[in-house]
Amino acid sequence: MAGNSFGTIFKLTTFGESHGEAIGGIIEGCPAGIQLDFDAIEIEMQRRKPGQSSIVTQRKEQDAVKFLSGIFEGKTMGTPIGFVIENKDQKPRDYSHIKDTYRPSHADYTYDKKYGIRDYRGGGRSSARETACRVAAGSIAKQLLKDIKITAYVSGVGNLQLDKPYADLDFSEIEKNPVRTADAEMAQQMEAYIGEIRKQGDTVGGIITCVIQNVPVGLGEPVFDKLHATLGKAMLSINAVKGFEFGSGFEGTHLKGSEHNDIFNEDGSTRTNYSGGVQGGISNGEDIYFKVAFKPVATIMQKQQTINSKGEKVDIQGKGRHDPCVVPRAVPIVEAMAALVLADFWLLNKLSKL
């Protein structure tokens, strides 16, 4: 068994190692009759792909999605949508420096111990390259969801925090700056800081906030598949994520019930939204919002001590083209995973009552 699938009805199953011939996936459960907008899919892929700005990795990957099935004359057929993303950038590189070496805070050691074998060429299955498949599938999920608006943005890079409530931000700023934050001034600070980190050969962590608007009441399948629990798993399954909180989150633990309860308006909406749009694991129609914590990328351009597979001490130094900060490129991944969760619950909810 391996956890390569996500979702119950609208389900994505992925395959692929970072340096294999291709990665790809199968989307099951997408209803028939959706007229796909392939440009919209392409735009999402562009947002995630390397080399799009000076503050992300300079690797050149095309990340073109080739759909092989499930679509006929531009429309979904209800049958599984198979797709591949070929590795165009497969120049024969020298990986001898990491072949037997376990990079610190990478998955080299754990994969080797679990499976007794690993594809040492750049992370193999544990590489974040796999998330390209999530973005491809998520962009189709977004088209299914139509009226539901999913917006993610960078709200923290190192100690730089965009602390304003999301309602006070201008989301149209997000795609105007390479950091993908929702504030022009903060964008400049963050960009400068990431540039500095990069010159140091170092990396830095960050936070992404995601807001989901126009959500119908009723999404989520308690008790175990609560909406926020499934969103949490979706986010925590993204490479480098260390934490997830929604609504009042960790801050909410300091509050009293009398402060935290969301009082109803007569139309069923609530005056405050500490609940983050979810009550009892089911969407209540208010905005869903949550934060996702990303650790600093483990590959740094500095010399580090580590061990090889024989348990001998060796030195290692990152080569090639890596991200100094992962959050700008993770924004479309967070949105894609949110879309997968919502699409699945949106379909399931059609079966809740007669």
- Does the protein bind a second copy through residue 100 (CB under 8 A)? no
For 159, residues 6+ apart whose C-beta sits below 8 A from its C-beta are: none
Chosen residue from 142, 169, 275, 339 binding a second copy by CB under 8 A: 275
Task: Answer whether 347's CB lies under 8 Å from 9's CB.
Answer: yes
User: Which one of 42-50, 55-63, 179-187, 264-272 is the stretch in contact with a second copy (CB under 8 A)?
Assistant: 264-272
Positive or negative, the CA dihedral 226, 232, 234, 237 is negative
- Does 33 help bind a second copy (rule: CB under 8 A)? yes
CA separation for the pair 29, 64 (Å, rounded) = 23
If one asks whether residue 61 binds a second copy (CB under 8 A), the answer comes out as: no
Write out the binding residues for a second copy, residues 107-136 only, by CB under 8 A: 107, 109-111, 113-119, 124-126, 130
In angstroms, what is the minimal distance from the CB of 172 to a second copy? 25
Q: How far is the CB of 42 from a second copy (least distance, A)?
A: 18
**Applying CB under 8 A, does 84 fall inside the site for a second copy?**
yes
Residue (19 or 49) nearer to a second copy, CB: 19
**Element of type H or E holding 289:** strand 288-294
Range in contact with a second copy (rule: CB under 8 A) among 47-55, 57-65, 181-189, 306-314:
306-314
The verdict on 354 binding a second copy (CB under 8 A) reads yes
CB 106 within 8 A of CB 296: no
Q: How far is the CB of 255 from a second copy (least distance, A)?
A: 6
Q: How far apart are CA 333 and CA 338, in angstroms?
A: 8
Query: 109 or 171, CB closer to a second copy?
Result: 109
d(CA 69, CA 74): 11
Q: Based on the shown chain and the rule CB under 8 A, indicate whether residue 22 belongs to the binding site for a second copy.
A: yes
Nearest to a second copy of 40, 176 (CB atom)? 40
CB of 177 to a second copy, least distance (A): 19
Nearest Cα neighbor of 293 from 238, 351, 254, 348 is 238
Range in contact with a second copy (rule: CB under 8 A) among 24-32, 88-96, 164-172, 176-184: 24-32
**What is the footprint of a second copy within residues 144-183 (CB under 8 A)?**
156, 158-159
DSSP 8-class letter at 194? H
What are the residues whose beta carbons fall under 8 Å from the beta carbon of 313, sequence distance 6 or more? 305, 306, 307
CA angle 94, 98, 99 (to 5 degrees): 85
* Site for a second copy, residues 180 to 209, rule: CB under 8 A: 197, 200, 202-207
Among 251, 246, 218, 223, CA closest to 234:
246
